[in-house]
Amino acid sequence: MSPTTAQRTYSIRQAASLTGLPASTLRYYESIGVIGPIGRGETSSHRVYTEDDLDLLTSVACLSATGMSVDDMRTYVANGPLGAHAASEQLGLLVEQERRLTLEAEQIALRTTYVRIKIAYWQAVEAGDDARADDLASQARALADDLQKIKKT
């Protein structure tokens, strides 16, 4: 995958825009060892990101966005280049992450339903339709009841 051609490099600003992580967070992750030390320019102290750095940071950004702790990210990144030996630990991390995402998706669906009922409620209030407003208010209450029942299971 890497012939004789030199990899192109990126400034911290470019890296930030490509990974979606703020420059301050890039420096922070490096300072606490989530990612290894980034190379500096020949003549300057400015960070120089390679495409490999960018690939790694993109993965880290994804992990971070789903709520993985910096400790777990550090472990994940440290195990990355180790190959088959670290497979089971990586798997554990990822399966846990998948579980978290599933839960999060359920919560968001619930909140979306609630917000939609509330939108309809305020539209009814604005239209002076008190009967419909009352109905929607009771729908919101019903949703709260459902939530309680689901939680018990």
Q: Which residues bind a second copy (CB under 8 A)?
A: 8, 10, 14, 17-20, 51, 55, 58-59, 62, 65-66, 83-84, 87-88, 90-91, 94-95, 97-98, 101-102, 104-105, 107-112, 114-116, 118-119, 122-123, 125-126, 128, 137, 140-141, 143-144, 147-148, 151-152
DSSP lists the bridge partners of residue 10 as 49
Cβ atoms of 51 and 8 within 8 Å: the answer is yes
Contacted by 102, from DNA, a second copy, none: CB < 5 to 8 Å by type: a second copy
State in angstroms the smallest separation of the CB of 64 from DNA: 5
Amino acid occupying residue 43: T
Cβ atoms of 19 and 26 within 8 Å: the answer is yes
104's CB contacts (< 8 A; 6+ apart) are 66, 67
Q: What torsion do the CA atoms of 51, 54, 56, 59 make, to the nearest 10 degrees? A: -140
Residue from 28, 102, 115, 116 touching DNA (CB under 7 A): that is 28
The answer to the question of residue 22 lying near DNA (CB under 7 A) is: yes
Query: Residue 111 is encoded by which pair of tokens?
Result: 């909140």
Which of the residues 68 through 97 are near DNA (CB under 7 A)? 69-71
Task: By CB under 7 A, name the binding residues for DNA.
Answer: 11-14, 22-25, 27-29, 40-41, 43-47, 64, 69-71, 151
